[in-house]
Each structure stands twice: as C-alpha cells, then as structure tokens.
C-alpha cells in the first residue's frame, strides 16, 4: 500500500518560519488546520505560541475542540444545517463563523451561547463573500445581527484564493494589494465596531511583506507545502514536508515505463503543468535523513484509480526493481493527506528511518 511520509524537521521549520513571519509583521497567527487534519500535528503548533486555529468544516472543528483547542474559526459560510453543531461546540469553546448574507441570521437566533462572526469579503476571488464595495450588504448584516446578543461581530475575513490562479507574481501582487486595501477601507468605514481583519492564503502570507491594516493571518498549506506551491514560487522544493511512498508494480522496457501502486485515491487527480504536460507527483530520493529531489527528474505523468505511470525513465528505469518503494512529492498536499486518512509515517532520527505515526 502507498504510505504517507512526513519529515517532522521540515514541518517544524515551516511552522516556525510562518509564526516568525506573523510576529515580524505584528500579525496574530491563526493557522488553518485543513491541510494536516491531525490532532498530533496540531499540537506541534503550540510550542510556537499558537492558541487559535482555522478549520473549514464543523466536522474538523469538533475534532480539534475535543483535542483542547478552544478558539476556532470555521472558515466556511455558515449554513443553517450546522445550527445544532454550532450550539454544541460553542458551549465550551470560542467559535467564530463566517457570514456573508442576511438569510442565515434568523437561524442564528436559536443559538444558546456566544458566537463570534466575521463578514466574509470577496475582493475578487468570486467564490464566497460580500463584494468589498457592497457596503449596503455589510450594513444589512450588521443591522440584522444587532438584536441577537449572542452573535458578536468581530471583523472582516478575506481569502484571496484567486492568487492561486494568477498567471504570474505581478498579478499575485495586484491581487494582494487590492485585498489588503479593501479590508483596510472596510475597517475605516466601520470603525465604530472596532473590527479586525483576517486574511491570508499561503502564497500571499509567504511572499508578501506589506500587511498594512491586517490583524491576523490564516494560512494552512505552508505546514507541508507541495508541488503546486513550488510551481508558483511559494516554497522551495526542499521545504515540501510530505511525500508518498509507492511500491513499484511494473516495468515496461518498450517506453522505459514504470508503473507504481499509487493513484487517484492516494494523490488525487490534481496536477501541475510541466512543459505543457500534466504532472501528478515528482520523484524524490530517500536518504538517511529523509529525502532529496531525485537527480534525474521523474514525474508521475498519468494516473488512474490505483495506478501511477512514469514514462521514459532512462537510467532510473535500469536501477529500479519491482517491489522497490519509491517516494513522490504530491501536487496538492491537502487533498493527498485527506485521501490517506491521516495515516502518517514520520521520520524518526533515533531509529534512522520512518516509523508509523501516530505510533502503533
């Protein structure tokens, strides 16, 4: 079976770097836990002073609340189906939700405990949120929530996810500038509420240096990074902290093709484009201390449910045997980790090798 490996040294360094970036810029740090979805890895954040987190569903919120996190933002537009879950979770923890409409407000009159909310702001992504310029809509939400004493307005939230689709860094810079400037304007316009501004996808939090007006950042993917983040310049290859080990299942000399047990149910079908062709994973070489990029670059170029295919493998074809376990950096670590159901193997320097994690 393919297995997920985690390099704890890289992972801790990634957390430390982002915590330090936040602190240097006077930003509060509320990391998104959707990437790792692991109680154990979540605990690693505590030693970097992290005490509040972001998740993307009530299911995740329940898992981390049970693990002792008591300040959780569910960064997904609240929908009435979750009212009972919200009531249950807010009994013991400080739960914040996102609101971008007035339709949801009547349902929130049923909540029995204090709940904080942010207004989700769309600065150009076009997924969720009130368009930044739509002050009228923000006013309606604030008016509509005024009589609900349990529902406390905390500020504005923006996920500028269109930075992932940007063609180049110039476009990403423009997206970032608009987002922080829109949030700053909203804070000014609604200053009587003393709102704070939450912001931050991994690319912008890593690359940008001007966070004027922003109070708190919520990046997630940085804990592991992946080939996609590498492809848009967010991280270095050697910062990617997860790899998938796959057994070699077949070798076919006609096109020096290697087939691995490792497919869409392990890597997902997300791809990056390299020289005009889709790539689903990149080979790394295992070392005593983890892994390094393989000297001859090899990509998973096709994927089906359980199979991955590497073509024209040259010398690597000759040195690889059926049954070998070979490792790949994934394209989208969030989806890969989700598919592997959190069954990590972690590099343990004491045993000089990877051991199951959590142990046993």
Binding residues for its own copies (CB under 8 A): 1, 34, 56-59, 76-82, 100-101, 103-104, 107, 122, 126-128, 131, 161, 247-252, 254-255, 257, 259, 261, 264-265, 268-270, 302, 304-307, 309, 321-323, 325, 334-335, 338-339, 341
Burial of 204 (0-12, 13-18, 19+ CB in 10 A): buried
Nearer to its own copies, 8 or 257 (CB): 257
Min dist. Cβ of residue 139 to its own copies (A) = 16
**Cβ neighbours of residue 345 under 8 Å, at least 6 residues apart?**
3, 4, 5, 6, 245, 354, 355, 356, 357
Nearer to its own copies, 250 or 358 (CB): 250
Q: What's 26's DSSP letter?
A: T
Nearer to its own copies, 185 or 338 (CB): 338
Query: What is the radius of gyration, based on Cα positions, of the chain?
Result: 22
Q: CA 72, 74, 79, 81 torsion: positive or negative?
A: negative
Q: Which of 223, 221, 339, 219 is nearest to 280 (CA)?
A: 339
Min dist. Cβ of residue 88 to its own copies (A) = 14
Backbone angles phi, psi at 242, to 5 degrees: -125, 150
Min dist. Cβ of residue 314 to its own copies (A) = 18
Min dist. Cβ of residue 128 to its own copies (A) = 5
Alpha-carbon gap, residue 200 to 22, rounded angstroms: 11
Min dist. Cβ of residue 335 to its own copies (A) = 6
Min dist. Cβ of residue 122 to its own copies (A) = 8
Backbone angles phi, psi at 186, to 5 degrees: -65, -40
Q: Which of 208, 125, 214, 212 is nearest to 169 (CA)?
A: 208
Write out the DSSP string of 344-356: EEEEETTTTEEEE
Q: How many CB atoms lie within 10 A of CB 282?
A: 24
Min dist. Cβ of residue 100 to its own copies (A) = 6
Nearer to its own copies, 94 or 311 (CB): 311
Nearer to its own copies, 122 or 239 (CB): 122
The end-to-end CA distance of the chain, in Å, is: 17
Give CA separation, 226 vs 2, 28, 86, 107, in Å: 17, 25, 32, 39
Min dist. Cβ of residue 89 to its own copies (A) = 14
Nearer to its own copies, 57 or 286 (CB): 57
Nearer to its own copies, 88 or 251 (CB): 251
Nearer to its own copies, 4 or 248 (CB): 248
Q: Which helix (H) or strand (E) holds 79?
A: none
Alpha-carbon gap, residue 257 to 249, rounded angstroms: 11
Min dist. Cβ of residue 189 to its own copies (A) = 20
Nearer to its own copies, 27 or 258 (CB): 258
Alpha-carbon gap, residue 241 to 10, rounded angstroms: 5
């Amino acid at each position: 079976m393919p297995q997920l490996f985690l390099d704890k040294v890289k992972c801790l360094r990634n957390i430390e770097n982002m915590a330090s970036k936040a602190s240097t810029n006077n930003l509060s740090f509320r990391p998104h836990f959707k990437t790792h979805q692991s109680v154990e890895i979540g605990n690693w954040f505590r030693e970097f002073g992290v005490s509040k987190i972001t998740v993307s569903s009530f299911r995740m919120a329940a898992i981390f609340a049970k693990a002792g996190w008591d300040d959780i933002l569910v960064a997904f537009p609240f929908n009435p189906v979750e009212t009972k879950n919200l009531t249950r979770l807010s009994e013991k923890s400080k739960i914040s939700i996102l609101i971008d409409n007035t339709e949801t407000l009547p349902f929130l009159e049923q909540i029995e405990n204090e709940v904080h909310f942010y207004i989700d702001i769309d600065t150009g992504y076009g997924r969720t949120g009130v368009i930044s310029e739509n002050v009228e809509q923000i006013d309606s939400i604030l008016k509509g929530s005024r009589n609900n004493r349990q529902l406390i307005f905390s500020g504005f939230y923006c996920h500028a996810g269109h930075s992932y689709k940007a063609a180049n860094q110039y476009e990403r810079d423009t997206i970032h500038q608009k987002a922080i400037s829109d949030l700053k304007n909203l804070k000014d316009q609604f200053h009587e509420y003393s709102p704070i501004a939450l912001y931050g996808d991994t690319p912008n939090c890593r690359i940008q240096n001007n966070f004027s007006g922003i109070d708190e950042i919520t990046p997630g993917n940085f804990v592991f990074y992946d080939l996609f983040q590498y492809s848009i310049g967010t991280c270095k290859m050697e910062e990617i902290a997860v790899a998938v080990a796959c057994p070699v299942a077949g070798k076919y000399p006609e096109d020096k093709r290697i087939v691995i047990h490792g497919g869409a149910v392990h890597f997902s079908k997300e791809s990056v484009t390299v020289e005009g062709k889709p790539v689903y994973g990149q080979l790394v070489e295992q070392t005593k201390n983890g892994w390094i990029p393989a000297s001859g670059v090899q990509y998973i170029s096709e994927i089906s449910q359980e199979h991955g295919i590497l073509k024209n493998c040259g010398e690597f074809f000759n040195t690889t045997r059926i049954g070998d376990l070979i490792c790949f950096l994934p394209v989208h670590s969030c989806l890969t980790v989700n598919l592997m159901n959190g069954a990590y193997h972690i590099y343990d320097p004491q045993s000089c090798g990877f051991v199951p994690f959590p142990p046993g």
